[in-house]
Structure 1
């Protein structure tokens, strides 16, 4: 078969409900890489929370983090197509100041390699460090550089209203995506940033045509990537809006090896 580029979301897609890679998934992805197909990760996670999976899968391809705000190759620090798109620091501080008025519980601010938060106490969750240093509590002194992304947390029922308030205040300077995983939140990146941007850069790097790109996802932040790919596939557990634009939907969920089963059939493994 002609070489394909396979772009994979992590949470709700490649990982099961315990945020783990199943043996079946690992074996299928290893086989595809051995057969000269290109497998890449495109995730909303920062690199620190995706590095484990990148290394376990023995990848050498570029990686898309922060929903497309960062595209880099962990195995090649001099990769020529590297990019890093950031938010304005003044915007970040203003949103922090508006937190209570907008009904936001807390905000996490991600730099390329460091996390900041609006509060010293964060929920016990795999996405957050157990302890924050004083220098990680957001202030004009600690936040010295433009951040990569911001995650806004509140009760899931309030997120849509908060999203509307943020857009009303800041307009077209940002992109907001909803993530409905274990801790539902709003993910904010700079305007024009999306996973499809990173996937396109990687595809061009390898000379892969759009028609030879497969993309797999399940959430709002996968929308543009699923549209962009020549063959966009949504997980059985994916949101309805995403399924409506997909080329196909898996027969099984992420927790039941839906990705692996689909790839086995598609590539006749």
Structure 2
């Protein structure tokens, strides 16, 4: 069965280590699109952090869709009609913020158009996220977050990799069972709605588009990509992927994201 939809992670997959979309990858995606293959960016980033690449790849029509916030939101690019969403609540905020404080970690919340943090000493990794996804940082106390109506789509515990890795081992089982918790970078632990991940989002979109599971390919590199690789008819891990992601893949590219690995996958399967 031929591939009709390709879901592609952005950081570490679509982009090289310099954060660039190479001419080789761009040409391969444009060629696949001309053949009628749907190209869907599937990322932990919010929409403002994806628009540059949607524009570059000409994925701006009413036939184009994007999956953001690690599967918490699926939207039509042109109309921003929501196909699927799974946000977090004020009660979730209190639980996750408390856990971050208990573990001594920095913490922030990603909304639709801003990043919120109650940390007076803002983590440099929060600043990095703000720059990466083109969203402002807004300082809000815990009380303000609870009293006001803010969209809270995903929450992130943040710190130096060795500090974060140790803290992850201290997370109570009952806390982990309440959320979908994924590591998207050595310094980012993302807390999502239990019913949100890239695999669920991709399945919802495929159903919406009347595309069979076997007709879907997914390409990724990190732990937050595992669910979509497991769902897809063809799950592709980049050569630079973490071992956990490689373990669930149907195919591992011989080329990394610095060597046009996405181009290799597109040309092999589409």
Structure 1-normalised TM-score?
Answer: 0.88
| CA apart distance, 1:264 | 2.3
CA RMSD of aligned residues (A): 2.3
1:124-155 deviation digits (Å, cap 9, x = unpaired) = 7552159966x533432245235110111112
1:38-53 maps to which residues of 2 (within 5 A)? 38-53=38-53
1:108-127 maps to which residues of 2 (within 5 A)? 108-120=108-120, 121-123=122-124, 126-127=128-129
1:201-220 maps to which residues of 2 (within 5 A)? 201-220=204-223
- The answer to whether the 8 A contact 2:13-2:238 is kept is yes
Which sits farther off after the overlay, 240-249 or 115-124?
Answer: 115-124
| CA apart distance, 1:245 | 1.7
1:254 to 220, 241, 257: 257
Instruction: Give runs of ≥4 in structure 1 deviating > 3 Å.
Output: 97-100, 129-133, 164-169
Show the counterpart of 1:175.
180
Aligned length: 261
| Partner Cα separation in structure 1 for residue 205 and residue 136 of structure 2 | 34
Aligned CA distance change for structure 1 residues 25 and 186 (closer, same or farther; 3 Å): same
Show the counterpart of 2:155.
150
What SS does structure 2 have at the residue aligned with 1:82? strand
Show the counterpart of 1:128.
130
| Partner Cα separation in structure 2 for residue 99 and residue 199 of structure 1 | 29
Show the counterpart of 2:55.
55
Show the counterpart of 2:237.
234
- The answer to whether the 8 A contact 1:12-1:218 is kept is yes
| Partner Cα separation in structure 1 for residue 211 and residue 136 of structure 2 | 42
- The answer to whether the 8 A contact 1:103-1:154 is kept is no
Question: Is there any run of 5+ residues in structure 2 with no aligned partner, and where?
Answer: none
- The answer to whether the 8 A contact 1:122-1:128 is kept is no
Which sits farther off after the overlay, 154-163 or 201-210?
Answer: 154-163
1:94-131 deviation digits (Å, cap 9, x = unpaired) = 43344343121x11201122211232534275521599
| Partner Cα separation in structure 2 for residue 8 and residue 132 of structure 1 | 26
Aligned CA distance change for structure 1 residues 170 and 18 (closer, same or farther; 3 Å): same
- The answer to whether the 8 A contact 2:113-2:135 is kept is no
Show the counterpart of 2:76.
73
Show the counterpart of 1:84.
85
Structure 2-normalised TM-score?
Answer: 0.88
Which sits farther off after the overlay, 258-267 or 91-100?
Answer: 91-100
| Partner Cα separation in structure 2 for residue 96 and residue 88 of structure 1 | 12
| CA apart distance, 1:217 | 0.5
Aligned CA distance change for structure 1 residues 94 and 204 (closer, same or farther; 3 Å): closer
Show the counterpart of 1:191.
194
Aligned CA distance change for structure 1 residues 3 and 88 (closer, same or farther; 3 Å): same
Which sits farther off after the overlay, 1-10 or 90-99?
Answer: 90-99
| CA apart distance, 1:64 | 0.7
What SS does structure 2 have at the residue aligned with 1:141? helix
Which sits farther off after the overlay, 188-197 or 140-149?
Answer: 140-149
